[in-house]
Amino acid sequence: MENTLNCEKLRSAEEAVKWIQYGDQVLVGGFGLCGTPFTLIDTIAESDHARDLTIISNNLGEAGKGLGKLLISKHIKKAIGSYFTSNRDAVKAWKSGELEIELIPQGTLAEAVRAGGAGIAGFYTKTAVGTKLADGKEERVFDGERYLFVRGIKANVALIKALKADTMGNLIYSNTARNFNPMMATAADLIIAEVDEIVEVGTFEAEQIVTPHTYVDILVLNDRYEKIGGEYVERSR
């Protein structure tokens, strides 16, 4: 979709991903394939610029889709997240030693990112107490209950997906595609937001805005995928 509005934050996907450096930690929004910044991911996969990345995301997409493309293109060194078995390529890469994996329970991951964005160093949770995920972690007792200490998560870059932006960079999301995206938009040094449409300032009601423009550094227009039947499908090129 072509943008004809004056938007200072708008860049091409190719320009945007050049800000990602070798070895960066990168937060990536999405739950399964819902709320995934496909255009940005594809552009990284096609480049040789940023490799040895640590990806922090709920999962690694599916085989050949979403973050699954970055896995195939060998851009990912380590994955931090909750559910990787939806992508058989991730399991194969881990078994062969090509991919490091750090598992974090889903709710803990969400709270760790929220804490990082809020400037909170860490928090205690009962989740994972007594399991292998607790090995080597600090533990304390509160009111007779055991808790694990979890560090807040911040990253070098966050790649997020929103439905629309206005020309200042205020973002609104589409239903459950909101998932991890808004909290990740607060928890990185550089926020790159992929959107389906850019509109004039004033188009959104104030209460519609989920991510204020002050968090967003770069906007990229999704020009590769169209939504058909509730799913994003890559256009023929």
Kindly report the three-state secondary structure assignment for every residue of 72-136: HCCCEEEEEECCCCCCHHHHHHHHCCCCEEEECCHHHHHHHHHHHHHCCCEEEECCCCCCHHHCC
Predicted confidence (pLDDT) per residue in 194-229, tens digit: 999 999 999 999 999 999 999 999 999 999 888 887
- pTM for this prediction: 0.94
The tokens of 172 are what? 């609104």
* Contacts of residue 59, Cβ cutoff 8 Å, sequence gap at least 6: 30, 31, 32, 67, 81, 82, 83, 84, 86, 87
Predicted confidence (pLDDT) per residue in 112-160, tens digit: 999 999 999 999 999 999 999 999 999 999 999 999 999 999 999 999 9
pLDDT of 171: 98
